[in-house]
Structure 1
Amino acid sequence: MATIHPDRAASVRDRRTRPGRSVEPASVEQSTGEPSVGELVGEISKDVSRLVQEEIQLAKAEMKEEATKAGKASGMLAGAGYAGHFVLLLGSLTVVFALANVMDWAWAALIVTAVWAVVGSVLFVRGRKQMRKVNLKPEQTVETLKEDARWVRNPTS
């Protein structure tokens, strides 16, 4: 058997006990039925991944719902404009001709124009009011993300 010089043995002992330079052999834990740190980190990783996917799906659903509302409101505004255009053209000519029998052509045309301006204004205001109800911010997703952040900070509560 080889012998170790006493000074060399002391040097090895000093290295083992110096702060920050521990060379003690790692203890081997026996299986106690509890999951290891690696398994716990893996489970947390899976949970976070699933949570993010669910939040993305919720955000998509909310955005689709709000886009549908915006589409309907836009359709109403476009329909109002299109119908208003035809009514303005055809109906105005009819009324102008009818009023021209009672008054001057210019006054008849001005009266008809003012009536359709009021109708168009009412349609515009209603469409704009409907458009303001559209909320593009996914409120439920924001709230659940806040809850998730609180849970991540303190998962045992």
Structure 2
Amino acid sequence: MTDPTAGATRATAPPPAPEDASTGQLISQLTEQISRLVRDEARLAQAEVTQKAKRMGIGAGLFGGAGLFAFLGLAVLIAAAVLALALVLPGWLAALIVAVVLFAVAGVLALVGKKDVEKGTPPVPTEAIASTRTDIQTVKESARR
């Protein structure tokens, strides 16, 4: 005859009612419940982040497609400008004028962008560092008192 509990490493009986449990049992139950809660919350957070990342990826792809079509539309408008100028000037001259205007716009944008990059460098959070230094100094002064 075999023992029905042979080979069991853990008791499968339900936990005792809280009013009948010892302090050690209550602490053990609390530890298990907290551990389970943390694992469940981590799984929920992971599932939520995964779902949001998928949506962000789809949204980014749609923005990329919109940018591509906007670029193509701009290219067609530039071609239309060349063709319009070609009605009154030779085609090569019309294309040259439009190219010079486009390069001028690119140059202005590059200069403005360069100024913004210079204002943003170095990319260090100087205000946060200054605030942290002030906080540290305040803590040091209060510790001396």
TM category, shorter: 0.3 to 0.5
Between 1 and 2, higher relative CO (CA 8 Å, sep ≥ 6) is seen in 1
Name the TM-score, length of structure 2 as normaliser: 0.43
Structure (1 or 2) with the larger CA radius of gyration: 1
